[in-house]
Amino acid sequence: MQPDFLVDFPGLGIHDLPINRVAFELFGRWPVYWYGLLIAFALVLCLLLAMRHSPKFSLTPDDIMDTFIVIIPLMIVMARLFYVVFEWAYFSQDLRRIFSTRDGGLAFYGGVIGGVIAIIIITRVKKISLIRLLDFFAVYVPLGQAIGRWGNFFNQEAFGTNTTLPWGMYSNQTDYYLQYVTRVTGLNPDLPVHPTFFYEFAANLLIFFWLLRVRKKSTFPLQTTLWYLLLYGVVRYFVESIRTDPLVIGDTGIRISMLLSALMVIVSVVFLFVLKRRQQRLELTRALAGDDVGEADNETEEAADGDAEDASADFVAIEDDQPSDPEKPDKPAAP
């Protein structure tokens, strides 16, 4: 099979690495693309891990399966819709393009919106706490992202600006894109670019392992979810600032993902601070209430002991004053 791309990492001594967008063909007719295959693998892996961990968080494997059944279609639809809305100038020329996802075009933040809608639906139907389910599933989002980002590599898309770093990437696709995308200026198509897909892959793996720890030691609701929003917001803001294919708001030049990432960071920091302080106040209140209860219990015990001693003394006194039974003669004294 003729490779779609020849990829170089000059600083690493890698040249002409053959890359195909198609992983294999079913029955020699239907192509299966790496992009879709990796997304499917990420979903299955996250599903299996979530089902395995669910009993520890008062959930059942059926709860997880039902949630995924709703999440998957909504996530894909919303990811595509988000992308189409902000690239309407392109899609409006031929509406059939909306339904052609083989060339990419799924916006991550749209997928997140779809996932949240799905979780809301499930919590209403199954009477599960929304916050508990959000905190549970937030852990698996960066894992799925990390795996899915390799789809960008096989499509040779979502890369960054020129770089002289050792891991800079160059291919016939980066050359072609930088030459013919008019909104990207000041870049040299002949030079390597940032492999931003790998930056997100590495960062999301670290976030995944950190969130496993946060969820295990969580002390207040939404803690895990807010940590995800904070960490991924920081990562995405940086990555988006050097990408060459951003979605922008009209003609403003404002990058949508950078704006949303900044909002995520600000909101999560504020809520983490507020909820942490609230939890500390609750713990202090409980501790003080516990001391008061302990003192009251001690006083009660002391009073009870005193009452018991008084009652014992009264009982002895009553026994001493008790007259002899008149119907029973006294035992005669020994001669």
Reported as a pLDDT band with limits 50, 70 and 90, residue 311 is very low
More confident residue, 183 or 214: 214
Give the CA distances from residue 154 to residues 44, 72, 80, 208, 263, in Å, rounded to whole numbers and listed in that order. Answer: 20, 22, 19, 23, 31
CA gap 133, 309 in Å, rounded: 57
Is pLDDT above 50 for 319? no
Check residue 82 and give its pLDDT.
Answer: 87
Q: Where is pLDDT greater, at 2 or 54?
A: 54
Angle (CA) 264 267 268, round 5°: 80
The answer to whether 219 and 236 have CB atoms below 8 angstroms apart is no
Average pLDDT over residues 119-138: 93
Compute the distance between CA of residue 260 and CA of residue 263 in angstroms, rounded to an integer.
Answer: 5
Q: What is the percent of the chain with per-residue pLDDT over 90, rounded to a whole number?
A: 58
d(CA 38, CA 125): 30
Question: In this structure, which long-range contacts are made by residues 214-219, counting pairs with CB atoms below 8 Å and at least 24 apart in sequence?
Answer: 215/135, 215/136, 215/138, 215/139, 218/135, 219/279
How many Å apart are CA 265 and CA 228, to the nearest integer? 10
Q: What is the pLDDT of residue 52?
A: 95
What pLDDT score was predicted for residue 295? Answer: 53
Which DSSP category does 193 fall into? B
CA 265 to chain centre: 14
Residue closest to 228 by CA, chosen among 120, 117, 144, 158: 144
Residue-level pLDDT at 9: 97
Within 13 Å of residue 323, how many CA atoms lie on the same side as its CB?
5
pLDDT band of 94, cuts 50, 70, 90:
confident
pLDDT 10s digits, 14-37: 999 999 999 998 887 888 899 889
Structure tokens at 231: 């960490």
Domain spans in the chain, listed from the N-terminal domain onward: 5-284
Q: Helix (H, G, I), strand (E, B), or coil: what is residue 16?
A: strand
- SS3 (DSSP) at 27: coil
Q: How far apart, in whole angstroms, are the C-alpha atoms of residue 255 and residue 250?
A: 10
Tokens in use for 76? 């894909």
DSSP per-residue codes, 80-110: HHHHHHHTHHHHTT-GGGGG--TT----HHH
pTM as predicted: 0.80
Dihedral Cα 18, 16, 183, 187, nearest 10 deg: 160
| Alpha helix (H) residue ranges in the chain | 34-53, 61-86, 88-91, 108-126, 130-137, 140-148, 150-155, 172-180, 196-216, 223-242, 256-321
